[in-house]
Amino acid sequence: GAGVSQSPSNKVTEKGKDVELRCDPISGHTALYWYRQRLGQGLEFLIYFQGNSAPDKSGLPSDRFSAERTGESVSTLTIQRTQQEDSAVYLCASSFSNYGYTFGSGTRLTVV
Amino acid sequence: GDSVTQMEGPVTLSEEAFLTINCTYTATGYPSLFWYVQYPGEGLQLLLKATKADDKGSNKGFEATYRKETTSFHLEKGSVQVSDSAVYFCALQPTGNTPLVFGKGTRLSVIA
């Protein structure tokens, strides 16, 4: 597609439930990133995929968070047993070489 | 580790005023530097970038110069407009396709 697409755009879930967030990167972009943006805060790096290399998971805040990517296409971020502190906007970005990121519009997650 | 420090907002200016948003960084090596902008209700967009010392990035009347000696990348605009109201994020990328490190963002409000 023309841009990075994320779904759903909004998600309200009950504490303790699992959620899956999806990201469709720009075709041909080899790198894909997930960030979290809490209200009034900066962007917090979560995980990074580069081609077929092992992902950089150094930013994942706990083992409740995981992500997968199929080849150089769709990625899914899964949060298990959601907590209220997981409420945030989850942003996905993709890039090719060193030209900066293209961000999606994000998924706003609210845990109640 | 690598980090970015931005001036805290919010910044409120009258239309046609001069804008400076300070950004300093800490990094090993020679990172690329970026400014991203997030307009209300939208995703982050790349505003400008610079990849080496003394490079000047510019776009939409905004400028920033990569200053290695002061480890800074201050954003400037000579005459702001109401439409510039947004949150501005300074970021660095250590190398290649490595994850961007973001500052906390500075909210700018321009009043007519």
Per-residue pLDDT, A98 = 60
Give the pLDDT confidence of A62-79 residue by residue, as tens digits: 999 999 998 888 999 999
- Contact A33/B44, CB-based, under 8 Å? no
Per-residue pLDDT, A99 = 65
Q: What distance in Å separates residue B19's CA from the closest CA in chain A? A: 21
Per-residue pLDDT, B97 = 67
Residue contacts between A and B (CB atoms, under 8 Å): 50
Bridge partners, residue B56, by sequence: B65
Q: What's the number of CA atoms in the CB half-sphere (13 Å) around residue B64?
A: 29
> Chain A within 8 Å of B40 (Cβ-Cβ)?
no
The total of other beta-carbon atoms located within 10 Å of residue A24's CB is: 18
Q: What is the DSSP letter of A103?
A: E
By percentage, how much of chain A surpasses pLDDT 70?
A: 96
Per-residue pLDDT, A52 = 84
Per-residue pLDDT, A1 = 54
Q: State the DSSP string of A32-101.
A: EEEEEE-TT--EEEEEEEETTSPPB-TT--STTEEEEE-TTS-EEEEE-S--GGG-EEEEEEEESTTS--
Q: What distance in Å separates residue A90's CA from the closest CA in chain B? A: 11
Rounded Cα gap, residues B76 and A89, in angstroms: 28
Rounded Cα gap, residues A35 and B72, in angstroms: 24
| Mean pLDDT by groups of 10 residues along chain A of 112 residues | 89 98 93 91 91 91 95 93 97 82 93 97
| SS3 call for B88 | strand
Give the pLDDT confidence of A9-23 residue by residue, as tens digits: 999 999 999 999 999
| SS3 call for B83 | helix
Residues of chain B with pLDDT under 70: 96-97
Q: What distance in Å separates residue B107's CA from the closest CA in chain A? A: 10
Residues in B touching A59 (Cβ below 8 Å)? 99
Q: What is the DSSP letter of B72?
A: B
Residues in B touching A42 (Cβ below 8 Å)? 89, 102-105
Bridge partners, residue B109, by sequence: B12
Per-residue pLDDT, A71 = 80
Per-residue pLDDT, A109 = 98
Q: Provide long-range contacts, Cβ within 8 A and 24+ apart, for A98-101.
A: A98/B32, A98/B51, A98/B93, A98/B96, A98/B97, A100/B34, A100/B46, A100/B49, A101/A33, A101/B44, A101/B46, A101/B100
- Contact A105/B93, CB-based, under 8 Å? no
**Alpha-carbon dihedral B105, A67, A56, A5, rounded to 10 degrees:** -50
